[in-house]
Amino acid sequence: MKKRFAVILAAGQGTRMKSKLSKVLHPILGRSMIEYIIKGLNANSIDTKVTVVGHGAEEVMSVIGNQCEFVIQKEQLGTAHAVMKADEILKDLDGTTIIVYGDTPLISSETFEKLFQFHEESNSFATILTTKVANPFGYGRVIRDESGQVERIVEQKDANEEERSINEINTGTYCFDNRALFSALKEVGNDNVQGEYYLTDVIEILRKKSRKVSAFLTEDSDETIGINDRLALVQAENMMKKRINENHLLNGVTIVDPEHTYIGPDVTIEQDVTIYPGCMIFGETHIGTGSTIGPHTEITNCAIGTHNVIRQSVLKNSKIGN
Choosing from 4, 16, 141, 179, the catalytic residue is 16
3-state secondary structure of 158: helix
Please, are residues 180 and 127 in contact by the beta-carbon 8 Å criterion? Answer: no
Going across the sheet that includes 286-287, the strands are: 268-269, 286-287, 303-304, 319-320
Q: Whole-angstrom Cα distance, residue 191 to residue 208?
A: 18
**CA 172 centroid distance within chain:** 10
Q: Whole-angstrom Cα distance, residue 112 to residue 230?
A: 25
CA angle 124/76/173 to nearest 5° reads 25
Known catalytic residue: 230? no
**CA 238 centroid distance within chain:** 16
3-state secondary structure of 316: strand
- Cite the DSSP H helix spans in 91-229: 109-121, 161-164, 178-185, 200-208
Active site positions, annotated: 16
